[in-house]
Structure 1
Amino acid sequence: MEAVIAILALLFVLFLAVGAYATVKVVGAAKRGVDRTITQARRTVEDHTLRAKSFAQPGPAGEIAQLRLELRTSMRATQEALQAGAGKDESLKESLALFARLSEHGRELDGELKRLESEPDRATLAERLPSLRERTGRITSSADSLRWAARDRARRFADDDLDTLHAQIDVEAGALRHWTTADDPASSRTSSSRPEHPATGRATAGQNRSQTPAPDPAESPVRPAITPPGPRPDYPWQKKPRPESTT
Structure 2
Amino acid sequence: MSLWTDILNFILPPRCLKCGKILKENTGLCADCFDEINFITRPFCRKCGHPLENAVLDDSSLLCGSCLKKTRRPFRLSRSAFAYDEASKGLIIGFKFNDKTENARFLAQTMLVAGEDIFKAGVDVIVPVPLHLTRLINRRYNQSALLASQLSKLSGCPADSTSFVKHRRTRPQVELTGIARVRNVKDAFSVKNPEKIKGKRVLLIDDVLTTGSTLRECALALKKAGAKSVDTLTAARVI
Task: Give the TM-score range, shorter chain.
Answer: under 0.3
- TM-score, normalising length from structure 2? 0.23
Q: Indicate the structure with greater helix content.
A: 1
Structure number with bigger Rg: 1
Question: Which protein, 1 or 2, shows the higher relative CO under an 8 Å CA cutoff with sep ≥ 6?
Answer: 2
Q: Indicate the structure with greater strand content.
A: 2
